[in-house]
Amino acid sequence: MTYLTPQQTYCLRQHLRQVGTPELLMDELIDYLACQAEERMSHGLSFEQALAMIRREATALSVRHLQHTLIRQGALPRTSFWRHPARFTKREKAAFGLIQPVRSTLLIGAFLSVMLTGWLLASRGLAIPVGLVASLLCPLLLLLFLQGLRHTRSHQRTSLVRHPALREEYVRRPAPRKRALVTR
């Protein structure tokens, strides 16, 4: 019997994360898929081939269907559309992949434009007041930029953008039931 290496198991975990598997189901599905991969590998397939087959079977759709069924049964806590892990990962990527470079570019742009304006005005004989303003503004903008960078790093380190399943407010929350309303 072939057994998966920790790296191969990690690949399965990554795949399940990508398709938005809830944390509560993660360990069980990893074991299920790992057993499936091991069986296929013992029949002569490579891990990559087994993984490709698993990817075709354990799709985002099938995992979401399982999740919804379990939520309907009350076995899993209800996760709103906005807090869906897959969506959250996208939001995280957008936050750190797009917003930060745009912010940095704007700051650098503002810094350069102030320098340029200062130089232009100085050439017309307003050297002293403009030079003063520019010399005050430039370090200020530089400080803001550095603060922005530090904020980004602390943001990543303290992980304010945490995975929904790890947040306290996402602990087991029973699904609201129509039955409860009916019996009242």
Under rule CB under 8 A, residue 53 binds another protein = no
CB 24 within 8 A of CB 76: yes
Under rule CB under 8 A, residue 51 binds another protein = no
Between 39 and 48, CB nearer to another protein: 39
- Rounded CA-CA distance 71/78 in Å is 6
Under rule CB under 8 A, residue 31 binds another protein = yes
- Amino acid found at 54: I
Site for another protein in 65-94 (CB under 8 A): 65-66, 69-70, 73-75
Name the residue among 140, 17, 83 with its Cα closest to residue 132. Answer: 140
Compute CA distances 20 → 2, 17, 60, 69, 91, whole Å.
28, 5, 7, 15, 13
Site for another protein in 2-21 (CB under 8 A): 3-4, 6, 9
Cα angle, residue 84 at apex, residues 23 and 171 outer, rounded to 5°: 50
- Considering only residues 11, 17, 18, 36, which one is a binding residue for another protein as defined by CB under 8 A? 36
CB of 27 to another protein, least distance (A): 4
Contacts to another protein by CB under 8 A: 3-4, 6, 9, 25, 27-32, 34-36, 39, 57-58, 62, 65-66, 69-70, 73-75
